[in-house]
Amino acid sequence: MLYFLVLFAILIYFYGVRTFNYWKNRGVKHDSPIPFFGNNLRQFFQKASMAMVATEVYNKYPEEKVVGFYRGTNPELVIRDPSIAKRILVNDFQHFYARGFNPHKKVIEPLLKNLFFADGDIWRLIRQRFSPAFSTGKLRAMFPIITERAEKLQIITKEVSNLDSYDVRELMARYTTDLIGTCGFGLNMDSLNNENSQFRKLGKRIFQRTPRDAFNAGLKIMFPELFKNIHFLAPEIEKSMTYLVTSVMKERNYKPSGKNDFIDLMLELKQKGKIIGESIESKNSDGTPKTVEMELTEMIMIAQVFVFFGAGFETSSTASSYTLHQLAFNPDYQKKVQEELDRVLSNHNNKITYEGVNEMYCLEKAFYEAMRMYPSVAYIVRKCSSPEYTFPEIGLTINEGVKVMIPIQAIQKDDKYFKNPEKFDPERFNLGVKEYKDVFFPFGEGPRACVGARLGQMQSMAGLAAILQKFSVEPAKCSVKNPKPDPTSIVSEGFVGGLPLKIKKRKME
């Protein structure tokens, strides 16, 4: 009996280290991995977010263009060189079109069949059909809703301006949740008036990484086939989102209602029939892409609403609240932004309009600088989709299925590319973002760049303009200039203790 136990233990051990010569054999520097956990032990146990881990790896090997990493037993490659990152995201996209968040060829979870998580032909067909939803014309038509919510934000901000401190992260999350609820569902979720609204609770739960979530994720990463039927997402998220979207669609008799929200858009797209397009995965014998098609089922529609809601409120609230945080600690630039706001808004009847927001250059520079220092999505993952791929810059060949990780936050805070990277300096964007196009990409880059980036930026800037038009922000007694990142964050980064600030009514001259 003892013999079999020892044999079993030896077999288990070798299973847990079976891939750990991958980077050694290719001459790629990396930390020594731990059986089963690889280099990812701290993230599995919620001691560090993936963004924190990626940044640590980036900073530990300053002379390398790439660094090896093991997520569980899976070899991954951290990209330190911006030119290689651009090649992956743009030039050689056909080899790296997959994000690879799902460890299975077939997506198991219904809600993950969305524009962010889906890969291959499913992603391409969804992107093809949904891209027009975020056109300039659609954004302009949607802006009156943004104006209405921004004005409501001013009323709520007045109520908390008497407090010693208030978490602006929560304030902006309530604003963006309310806005996404209106734009997405045509519903008044009242997240601004009620910080404990069911809609706000759902938003918090989506991006809350509980021990259950971490445990399930660890099992799926380390033993993908054995645990392929357990879900990353908690059952209550899928149940709540399915019920919410289905209820709205039933109320509209599965026909567009004229509200011009996201559900209306999908009902319109549904009426157009199957989505047909060129395959990104399969080719005909002559080398041309095969034609593929997909039915826009109710569950796929629900999945798109899920990602529109989740990504829409979380990333925007992170970006806008961190902008306020930096302006609180940089009052001279805050004053400059407010002087510009007063000037611009006076030309638009003191209302926050689409045209007015596009004239707020100082605010835009502050927003870009905040996104440079603390991008809402701090890293990008892509999976090699070709049998093998060789990086021409370094002669390294990787195999199909190997993921590459681009640590955006680490690159954007590297003094090699940004002078005094820890300093909040919006003036570095005087010429816009073009000067830094190879090292500044907080919304991603290439064909899989964020399709809703413009909407996210506009709603963030409208919210910032609404607050700074009538209020000023300054550090509270409990404020921390360099807040600690939340180690339990998933895709979007959070902060331990939030971002408490003192909000004061402006003394208008």
Please enumerate in sequence order all residues whose Cβ is within 8 A of that of 415, keeping only pairs 6 or more positions apart, or say none: 421
Q: Indicate the SS3 state at residue 145.
A: helix
Q: Residue 260: its pLDDT value, please?
A: 72
Greater confidence (105 vs 406) lies with 406
Q: Residue 109: its pLDDT value, please?
A: 78
- Do the Cβ atoms of 232 and 213 come closer than 8 Å? yes
Give the mean model confidence (pLDDT) for residues 434-463.
Answer: 89
Q: Residue 508: its pLDDT value, please?
A: 65
Instruction: Name the token pair of 374.
Output: 């603390």
Q: Residue 191: its pLDDT value, please?
A: 43
Residue 509 has pLDDT above 60, yes or no: no
363-409 tens-digit pLDDT: 999 999 999 999 988 899 999 999 999 999 999 999 999 999 999 99
Q: pLDDT band for position 225 (50/70/90)?
A: low
Residue 312 has pLDDT above 80, yes or no: no
Greater confidence (312 vs 496) lies with 496
Angle at 384 between CA 46 and CA 307, to 5 degrees: 55
Q: pLDDT band for position 203 (50/70/90)?
A: low
Greater confidence (507 vs 98) lies with 98
Q: Residue 134: its pLDDT value, please?
A: 76
Q: Residue 103: its pLDDT value, please?
A: 65
Instruction: Name the token pair of 370.
Output: 């905040």
Please enumerate in sequence order all residues whose Cβ is within 8 A of that of 92, keeping only pairs 6 or more positions apart, or say none: 389
Q: State yes or no: 384 annotated in a binding site.
A: no
137-151, 224-238, 319-333: which has the minimum mean pLDDT? 224-238
Q: pLDDT band for position 244 (50/70/90)?
A: confident
Residue 196 has pLDDT above 50, yes or no: no
Residue 104 has pLDDT above 70, yes or no: no
Greater confidence (216 vs 56) lies with 56
80-94, 156-170, 251-265: which has the minimum mean pLDDT? 251-265
Angle between helices 168-185 and 298-328 (to 10 degrees): 150
Phi, psi for residue 439 in degrees, rounded to 5: -130, 5
Torsion over CA: 41, 46, 47, 48 (sign) = positive
Looking at every residue in the chain, the average pLDDT score rounds to: 87
Give the mean model confidence (pLDDT) for residues 463-481.
Answer: 96
Residue 415 has pLDDT above 70, yes or no: yes
Give the mean model confidence (pLDDT) for residues 271-280.
Answer: 89
Share of the chain above pLDDT 70, in %: 89
Q: pLDDT band for position 197 (50/70/90)?
A: low
Sheet containing strand 380-383, edge to edge, reads 66-71, 74-79, 403-406, 380-383
8-22, 215-229, 399-413: which has the minimum mean pLDDT? 215-229
Residue 173 has pLDDT above 60, yes or no: yes
Using only C-alpha atoms, the chain has a radius of gyration, in whole angstroms, of 23
Give the mean model confidence (pLDDT) for residues 401-425.
Answer: 96
Q: Residue 214: its pLDDT value, please?
A: 66
Greater confidence (462 vs 12) lies with 462
Residue 319 has pLDDT above 70, yes or no: yes
